[in-house]
Structure 1
Amino acid sequence: MKKLILQMQMSVDGFVGAEEDKDWQVWNWADDNRWDEALKRDFNNHFQSIDTILLSSKMAEEGYLTHWGNAARRYPQDPFYAFAQRIVEARKVVPSDRLDTSRWERTEVRSGDLARELGLLKAEEGSNIGVFGGAGFASALIAAGLVDEIQLYINPAALGRGTRIFSEAGFQNLKLLGAKAYDCGIVVSRYAPVR
């Protein structure tokens, strides 16, 4: 059975989004990302275990697929070329009750009960499912008990206030699967919900 793996960037004080426009994430969508080579390598190696991407409709509509499609057309020496290629090659699923069809390549829109649709996706043959979306999408998946692994990319910044992903879920016991610190200041902590 496939695992649903959620990856989120987070501040050291537990926020995934800032209330003010701050440059706090070591990796952003721009070309000025500050990830070190070891983190890029480990991220790309992990992403080889993903064959499907679950993407919030908001993130898809805000340009996530367009951005990585453009990055995949750049030169192979681009630091995020390998990741961009995987985004383009992977099957994408966008849950939405507003969209009827997808305008993005290799992307399907699924409507209806999210838990049922994800159950069907997880039961399919193949590799794991990576989740990318905003705080609301992530929070809803966690609260519904649909996430099998949470990977937190903890940035060396404290925001003081902002948006959290565990607010809706309430109390959760998590089992640490692993943690690794990188020279750029990111610590990746991997957890599984205790069920």
Structure 2
Amino acid sequence: MAKLNVFNFITLNGFYKGPNEDISWHKHGSEENEFAGDMLQFDSVLLFGRVTYQMMASYWPTPFAMENDPVVAEGMNKAEKIVFSKTLKNATWQNTKILGGDLAEEVKSLKQISAKSLSVLGSGSIVTQLAEAGLIDEYQIMIDPVAIGKGTPIFNNIKHQLDLKLIDTKTFKSGVVMLTYLPA
């Protein structure tokens, strides 16, 4: 069975995005970019919600992304991608498939049939739904040393308590801290 992990970055006060989908507060340095590039070397299927997918698809295939961060851009563009959406009809980013059925059922099926691991990037509403369904095997949370006034919490509107067990930490020179958890 394929493993499902989540990678998300948040502010010190728990927001994964600010008003109007703003993530400009998230600053990657060279060390974080190297880490991201290394993570993309693992053969995994990237999972997105529509909003995150459209944001990523508008950036990573561009010449600016290739110039700014060629290793991550190449990894993102080559990776197999699945976007969960009931409204998106066409996916223009290479190697992308759209699934529009019940999210939990689709992910259960993917975990059963996929030879690759599955990784949710961003996509907070999907993270909350999959956490509620007990389908996430590992959480990687990158905490930026910044607080913002308003935003959307990473587990927005979660209905049940989510108990996690810390299994690893990594501190970057920028002050960003990565915490890795398993469901308790």
Question: Cα gap change, 1:158/1:133 in structure 2, threshold over 3 Å: closer, same or farther?
Answer: closer
* Contact persistence 1:16–1:135 (CA under 8 A): yes
Cα distance in 1 between the residues matched to 2:27 and 2:50: 25
Deviation at residue 160 of structure 1 after TM alignment:
4.9
Please give the TM-score of this superposition, normalised by the length of structure 2: 0.85
Please give the TM-score of this superposition, normalised by the length of structure 1: 0.81
The aligned residue for residue 74 of structure 2 is 85
Question: Cα gap change, 1:74/1:161 in structure 2, threshold over 3 Å: closer, same or farther?
Answer: closer
Q: Structure 2 matches for 1:1-195, cutoff 5 A?
A: 1-19=1-19, 23-27=24-28, 35-37=29-31, 39-61=32-54, 63-71=55-63, 74-75=66-67, 78=68, 80-166=69-155, 167-194=157-184
Deviation at residue 93 of structure 1 after TM alignment:
0.7
* Contact persistence 1:149–1:192 (CA under 8 A): yes
**Secondary structure of 1:16's match?**
strand
Cα distance in 1 between the residues matched to 2:117 and 2:74: 17
Deviation at residue 22 of structure 1 after TM alignment:
8.2
Cα distance in 2 between the residues matched to 1:181 and 1:48: 21
The C-alpha deviation readout for 1:31-76, integer Å capped at 9, x for no partner, is: xxxx133x32222222222421111112223x3123111158735x
Cα distance in 2 between the residues matched to 1:95 and 1:22: 21
CA RMSD of aligned residues (A): 2.4
Cα distance in 2 between the residues matched to 1:112 and 1:87: 24
Cα distance in 1 between the residues matched to 2:63 and 2:132: 33
Cα distance in 2 between the residues matched to 1:22 and 1:96: 21
* Contact persistence 2:44–2:118 (CA under 8 A): yes
AA matched with 1:7: F
* Contact persistence 1:4–1:147 (CA under 8 A): yes
Count of matched residue pairs: 182
More helix by share: 2
Name structure 2 gaps, 5 residues minimum: none
Cα distance in 1 between the residues matched to 2:107 and 2:159: 18
